[in-house]
Structure 1
Amino acid sequence: MIIPPHALEKQTLRAIAESFVLREGTDYGEWEATFEQKVQQVLDHLESGEAVLMYSELHDSVDIRPAREPGGAE
């Protein structure tokens, strides 16, 4: 189930983004992004619709996925 980012309080959405950044190994190209920059990028992708929040009832968890990925918004 997709959760609209605006349905969550800002603090909750930020905590989800921080958790995602801490567990995901991501290559940011030639320069290393700070933790804050990475979190802001995740929040920006959620805001723009490039990424979606997916809630799994089976695992009782929330994940962030690209919107174009199978199981994403498109």
Structure 2
Amino acid sequence: MIIPYQQLAPETLDALIEEFVTREGTEYGETDVPLATKVEQVRQQLAKRSVVIVFDPAIETTSLVPADQLPPGM
């Protein structure tokens, strides 16, 4: 189930994005990128709909997923 990011409380959206960008294995490259920059980049991707928020009710988890990687019919 896709959750429109605009429907989330600002604090909830911030927490979701921050949790996503601070996951282990998300650091690539030789330079450190500030957390605020990473969060803003994800916000822009959500606004452009290149990334969507997906909730899986079966396992009660929320993920950020590239729109082009969504299963058909979603």
Per the shorter chain, which TM-score range?
0.7 to 0.9
Structure 2: any 5+ residue segments left out of the alignment? none
Q: May I ask how many residue pairs the two structures share in their alignment?
A: 74
Aligned to 1:19: 19
Tell me the TM-score normalized by structure 1: 0.83
Quote the sequence identity (%): 35
> What is the deviation of 1:45?
0.7
Tell me the TM-score normalized by structure 2: 0.83
Aligned to 2:6: 6
> What is the deviation of 1:33?
1.2
Q: CA RMSD in A?
A: 2.2
Indicate conservation of the 8 Å contact 1:67/1:73, yes or no: no
Matches of 1:39 and 1:11 in 2, distance apart? 13
Matches of 1:13 and 1:70 in 2, distance apart? 20
Matches of 2:53 and 2:12 in 1, distance apart? 12
Aligned to 2:42: 42
> What is the deviation of 1:3?
0.2
Identify if the C-alpha distance between structure 1 residues 72 and 48 changes in structure 2 by more than 3 Å, giving closer, same or farther: farther
